[in-house]
Structure 1
Amino acid sequence: MSSPSVVAGPPLAEEPGQGAHTIAGYLREVAARYGPREAVVLRKGDHRTAWTYDDLLTRAVEVARALVGCGIGKGERVGILMTNRPEFLSSLFGTALAGGVPVALSTFSTAQELDHLVRASQVSLLLFEQQVIRKHFGTMLHELDPEIAKLRPGALASVRFPYLRRLVSLGGVQGEAEPMAVAAGGAVETWDEFLSHGARIEKALVLERADSVHPSDPGGIFFSSGTTSLPKGVVHSQRAFAVQWWRWPRLFAMHEPVRSWTGNGFFWSGNVSMVVGTAFSTGGTIVLQRMFDADEALDLAERERVTFLNGRPHQWARLQASPKWARADLSSVKYVPRGELIWQHPTVSTQWEVPMSFGCTETMTICTSFVADAPEGRVEGSFGTPLPGNFLKIVEPISGSSVPVGTVGEMCIKGPTLMSGYLGKAPEECFDAEGFFCTGDAGRVDEAGRFFWEGRLTEMIKTGGANVAPIEVDEVIARIPGVKRTQTVGVPDDLLGEMVVACIVPLDGALLDEQIVIASCKEEIASFKVPRRVLFFRDEDYAITGSEKVKSSEVRAMAVARLDADNAEAVRPTLA
């Protein structure tokens, strides 16, 4: 009889390269190692902002002193709603130094989503960038709760946001074509006003607070779409952040200071984990891009001699389409996850190969992996073995019992980087009786303990590296007049992995078109969740009764067939 599919990684204590296992401890350790080196860079136009490791620690302590001065206690949550700018990092580490819990909030949020995030996270203080492209978060907050305009800073008592006491607004960054003044007033204060609250707080008090934090204490919260209609708050421990930060250079075989670029938000766990870890754990530099722009990204890669690009395949395609692509000097680039398109550039000559890895938001990115410079043991299709401290099992989804080696079942994981739980959920709603998180992903293990991913058991759509819950999209579409039935699915796409496609049955006589549906979705949900295509069908196509939904696989097949037919029609030559 085959052995059960249960695999253990090496003990965490034996993993080389590990250091302090708190967020503040991590920053203090890398600052002690690399103090005067350049840690963070932000370019806007001809203006270049650069912080050393010593600068970052000083700025983080400054934020921590302000938080202490504002009355933030241990374990209280501080919301960070910002693009990629140095203040995001000083806020993240500063909150940890003060003993608080940073909560990363998406700058893609609509008013409805922001309302949910602030209420669900129960943040006591919100540090927010006033305007991001056309989103004015100050206006959103005032519209969500008009009381914000009537009260003074520090005196906010909001029925809608019962835990929120302070709001702090940041303007634009130096070098922008049109610097934006910060509209404070009412309960909102400026960044400088916020920092002034720490004037009488001694640095020694902040460091004593940081020393009192334990690796098992809450370290941060990210939001991820789940099987429900609203994003779920994922709570991670201090050590989940630190363990991953320390291990990235080992897994990626990085043996020199790495200059890590990102144009994706730090409100995604994978981004903040990989970019911070690859840069700071090697004594390198984070090259920030506030929001992704292909032309600017190429310029930054060349001018800042970037070695690590952390993006997504559809972004690489946009780089290739840029008029700057052909003449860009990308000779410094060495590390690019999923970077086949980048490797085609004539100036890129790296021999590095990304190690196949598996993970999710709940495991603070990866939990199984190969090591880049250890090719032995690699097997085509495998995502490696459990990382140190992790335990993996494959179970029969209904009974939860382990299946034999080689048998496909549901992949379950536990270990030092597994989430502490979901906000508002009891442990038994998050983990099985043995403490494993059951991922909803199908997979198997071989005799050597290597994990093979076989697809998803859930209906989650993974598009451009982000998760989209179909029910969240369907609830928005269902409110559009004229919609009788809607079912959103993910359709395979070369660039995005999966493309979000809405399949709709209109009411008889209703006049709906694709652009109306897309425009309605853009008003209520983040851009990456908005359907790229909207397809219309008849009741007969679905062959269902009542309000039941057919299997997503069947709807997906319908969508693929329709899109293939449309594409064939589009390329059919016109006959003379």
Structure 2
Amino acid sequence: MAQVHEQDREAEAVVPRTVDELVRSRAVANAAQPAVIDPTAHLTYAELDITTEHLAAAFIEAGIAAGTRVGLVMPNGIGWVRIAIALTRIGAVLVPLSTLLKTPELIAQLRVAAVQTLIATEEFRGHRYADGLRAALALPDDDATILHPELPALRRIWTVEHTARLPVTPEAAAVARTSAATVTAADPLTIMFTSGSRGLPKGVIHSHGNAFGAVRSGLAGRCIDGDTRLYLPMPFFWVGGFGGGVLSALLAGATLVTEEIPGPETTLRLLERERVTLFRGWPDQAEALARQADSIGADLSALRPGSLDALLPAKHRARPGTRANLFGMTESFGPYSGYPADTDMPESAFGSCGKPFDGMQVRIADPADGAPAPTGSIGEILLRGPHMLRGMCGRSREDLLTEDGFYRTGDLGRLDEAGFLFYHGRSDDMFKVSGATVYPSEVEKALRGVTGVENAFVTSVDAGRGDQVAAAVVCDRAATAARIRAGARDLLSTFKIPTIWLLLESDESIPRGSTGKVDLNGLRDLLSRKGYAADELRSEPTP
């Protein structure tokens, strides 16, 4: 028996615990396999190891060390992965920053995360991030050390192109290897920004160990293994892209396929050319691609169940509600609840988010006093476990956690007797109509089940008579508010049916924050200005 235990300990010892250990192990086990593919290049696991080791040494030579906080602003692609992996191999803390940020937003996030070095692409979609910062803060154009009271930690701004020219000495290479060897699972890996529907973005701190644990726990649920060729459109600056894409591929030994700017024809050709087996991402993108796949003549036969349904043959598509809606947040480093994406749940769990993954404890609590709620009751979702965040910039442990270590998510949900989790919206989003509680997520889900409706966004609007249910609905041209309202009557209590409507042909006009989440205040403003009452029903969607 003692020998078995010793073998178990040896097996555990070789499980990669840091980015450096992970990259080196993949370079041995999967050397010739593509690690990352973008429209311009393929990078094998062996090449990933060699090129990031070289770049890590260049960063050491330039003064970046373990614990240095480095902001990165650039679009998806092999270049993003190289820089991120090189930094985290030597223990620097990666701070992925959105390419959507305006200069004032970028300044705010650099300040919150105490970023010391910023690496930014020279230009993307009309944004010139370094130029904007220098102009806003009157910074010098040369490489002089930055000293500015608005950003007291920031010392330098580099372009991505500049990092490719950083020199490397043999001494720096040796220091880089030593630095990488001293990084532990407990050391910080990344600071990722998130924001709710309101308020300023939060800088969430994750370690190598908790991030790896969170990703590993969900790989089976997301059908990712060593044979997967995963397409993921989500930006790497979101946890869905970094954790759900980059680290998922590395931890599973899969191949990640990505692109800077998805487009119907270019994306379909990429999926076809690279024989992508798993398409994860946004359902609306999958539906848009499916509508054009036949006309373009793209061969998507390599896709397998677990991909978003719209791109699969009819025989492989799931019935609505039978598959779990993966559920997570930046604070949990991605999904913490789910079910195998290629498998129907039990009928009693239809519409749920599956079950919490291993390593995550979920408690449903009374939002008012935090007391545990009875099974089946709706309450606030509290989370605890080794995969949760390690901290938050500017916040103490007492600010973040309950006395017994649970994180209050602000999400509402319930657990059934079998342990399946059902989501019921945000605690700060629910509202009352004539004294009755309305959960926007419940109304949105019902509206999406009405024929002709592609998506729905629900909130409250005070039109002078107290809160009313208001909905912005993305639908086809044949749909009318009257027909949608009639369909909703079979699914919702009368008080939950929207009385203020806005029909749209796409969700492009739905206001969103820099992290991509719907801006509720902006949504209310949109519905207040352009929505119309149920007794003023229009026959066509508003452009």
Report the TM-score range of the alignment, normalised by the length of the smaller protein: 0.7 to 0.9
Q: Is the 8 A contact 1:128 1:168 kept in 2?
A: yes
Q: Is the 8 A contact 2:305 2:341 kept in 1?
A: no
Sort the Cα spacing of 1:450 and 1:115 in 2 relative to 1 into closer, same or farther, 3 A: same
Q: Is the 8 A contact 2:97 2:237 kept in 1?
A: yes
Aligned to 2:104: 112
Report the CA distance between 1:148 and its aligned residue.
2.9
Aligned to 2:68: 76
Which segments of 5 or more consecutive residues in structure 1 lack a partner in the other structure?
A: 1-12, 172-189, 475-486, 496-513, 539-557, 572-576
Separation in 2, partners of 1:192, 1:392 = 45
Aligned to 2:329: 360
Report the CA distance between 1:526 and its aligned residue.
7.6
Separation in 2, partners of 1:526, 1:413 = 22
Sort the Cα spacing of 1:79 and 1:536 in 2 relative to 1 into closer, same or farther, 3 A: closer
Aligned to 2:206: 236
Q: Give 1:334-413 correspondences, 5 Å limit.
A: 334-336=304-306, 339-343=308-312, 355-372=324-341, 379-413=349-383
Q: Give CA-to-partner distance per residue, 1:429-472, whole Å, 9 cap, x none.
A: 21111111111112222233332222221239999xxxx9x9xx
Residue 362 of structure 2 aligns with an amino acid whose one-letter code is L
Number of residue pairs matched by the alignment: 469
Q: Is the 8 A contact 1:411 1:441 kept in 2?
A: yes
Residue 407 of structure 2 aligns with an amino acid whose one-letter code is F
Q: Is the 8 A contact 1:333 1:350 kept in 2?
A: no
Report the CA distance between 1:230 and its aligned residue.
1.9
Report the CA distance between 1:31 and its aligned residue.
2.3
DSSP-derived class of the 2:367 partner? coil
Q: Give 1:206-285 correspondences, 5 Å limit.
A: 206-226=176-196, 228-285=198-255
Separation in 1, partners of 2:343, 2:285 = 29
Separation in 2, partners of 1:318, 1:376 = 27
Residue 122 of structure 2 aligns with an amino acid whose one-letter code is Q
Residue 131 in structure 1 maps to residue 126 in structure 2: no
Q: Is the 8 A contact 2:74 2:120 kept in 1?
A: yes
Residue 143 in structure 1 maps to residue 121 in structure 2: no
Sort the Cα spacing of 1:255 and 1:419 in 2 relative to 1 into closer, same or farther, 3 A: closer
Report the CA distance between 1:78 and its aligned residue.
0.7
Aligned to 1:297: 267
Separation in 2, partners of 1:429, 1:206 = 36
Aligned to 1:94: 86
Q: Is the 8 A contact 1:108 1:527 kept in 2?
A: no
Aligned to 1:421: 391
**Which deviates the most, 323-332 or 83-92?**
323-332
Q: Is the 8 A contact 1:440 1:456 kept in 2?
A: yes
> Of residues 146, 154, 157 in structure 2, which corresponds to 1:164?
154
> Of residues 35, 49, 57 in structure 2, which corresponds to 1:57?
49
Q: Is the 8 A contact 2:134 2:140 kept in 1?
A: yes
Q: Is the 8 A contact 1:95 1:101 kept in 2?
A: yes
Separation in 2, partners of 1:567, 1:104 = 44
DSSP-derived class of the 2:302 partner? coil
Sort the Cα spacing of 1:333 and 1:564 in 2 relative to 1 into closer, same or farther, 3 A: farther
Residue 99 of structure 1 aligns with an amino acid whose one-letter code is G
Report the CA distance between 1:299 and its aligned residue.
1.0
Aligned to 1:438: 408
Q: Is the 8 A contact 2:305 2:312 kept in 1?
A: no
Separation in 2, partners of 1:229, 1:19 = 39
Q: Give 1:435-474 correspondences, 5 Å limit.
A: 435-459=405-429
Q: Give CA-to-partner distance per residue, 1:308-352, whole Å, 9 cap, x none.
A: 222212212332454775511111112555x232235x7x95789
Residue 310 of structure 2 aligns with an amino acid whose one-letter code is L
Report the CA distance between 1:489 and its aligned residue.
9.9
Separation in 2, partners of 1:397, 1:132 = 43
Task: Normalising by structure 2, report the TM-score.
Answer: 0.76
Q: Give CA-to-partner distance per residue, 1:362-390, whole Å, 9 cap, x none.
A: 10111122235776767223323322222
Separation in 2, partners of 1:163, 1:308 = 41
DSSP-derived class of the 2:191 partner? strand
Report the CA distance between 1:569 and its aligned residue.
5.3
> Of residues 12, 22, 28 in structure 2, which corresponds to 1:32?
28
DSSP-derived class of the 1:60 partner? helix
DSSP-derived class of the 2:190 partner? strand
Say what the alpha-carbon RMSD is for the aligned residues: 3.9
Task: Normalising by structure 1, report the TM-score.
Answer: 0.72
Separation in 2, partners of 1:232, 1:127 = 20
DSSP-derived class of the 2:140 partner? helix
Q: Give CA-to-partner distance per residue, 1:474-525, whole Å, 9 cap, x none.
A: 9xxxxxxxxxxxx999846469xxxxxxxxxxxxxxxxxx9xxx99x89x96
Report the CA distance between 1:128 and its aligned residue.
0.8
Residue 42 in structure 1 maps to residue 20 in structure 2: no
Report the CA distance between 1:529 and its aligned residue.
5.6
Sort the Cα spacing of 1:33 and 1:493 in 2 relative to 1 into closer, same or farther, 3 A: farther
Sort the Cα spacing of 1:536 and 1:360 in 2 relative to 1 into closer, same or farther, 3 A: closer
**Which deviates the most, 204-213 or 316-325?**
316-325
Aligned to 1:544: none
DSSP-derived class of the 1:131 partner? coil
Separation in 1, partners of 2:426, 2:196 = 13
Separation in 2, partners of 1:488, 1:76 = 49
**Which deviates the most, 318-327 or 388-397?**
318-327
Q: Give CA-to-partner distance per residue, 1:40-83, whole Å, 9 cap, x none.
A: 1121xxxx311110111122212221221122232221111110
Q: Is the 8 A contact 2:225 2:253 kept in 1?
A: no
Q: Give CA-to-partner distance per residue, 1:261-298, whole Å, 9 cap, x none.
A: 22321011012212234433343321120122222111
Separation in 1, partners of 2:286, 2:391 = 34
Separation in 2, partners of 1:16, 1:458 = 43
DSSP-derived class of the 1:127 partner? strand
Sort the Cα spacing of 1:65 and 1:308 in 2 relative to 1 into closer, same or farther, 3 A: same
Q: Is the 8 A contact 1:23 1:242 kept in 2?
A: no
Aligned to 1:549: none
Separation in 2, partners of 1:377, 1:406 = 17
Separation in 1, partners of 2:415, 2:12 = 25
Sort the Cα spacing of 1:70 and 1:256 in 2 relative to 1 into closer, same or farther, 3 A: closer
Sort the Cα spacing of 1:528 and 1:566 in 2 relative to 1 into closer, same or farther, 3 A: farther
DSSP-derived class of the 1:281 partner? helix
Q: Is the 8 A contact 2:231 2:257 kept in 1?
A: yes
Sort the Cα spacing of 1:299 and 1:563 in 2 relative to 1 into closer, same or farther, 3 A: farther
Comparing both chains, which one has the higher relative contact order based on Cα–Cα distances under 8 Å and sequence gaps of 6 or more?
1
Aligned to 2:488: none
Residue 260 of structure 1 aligns with an amino acid whose one-letter code is L
Report the CA distance between 1:145 and its aligned residue.
2.1
Aligned to 1:568: 539
Separation in 1, partners of 2:83, 2:72 = 7
DSSP-derived class of the 1:410 partner? strand
Sort the Cα spacing of 1:374 and 1:453 in 2 relative to 1 into closer, same or farther, 3 A: same
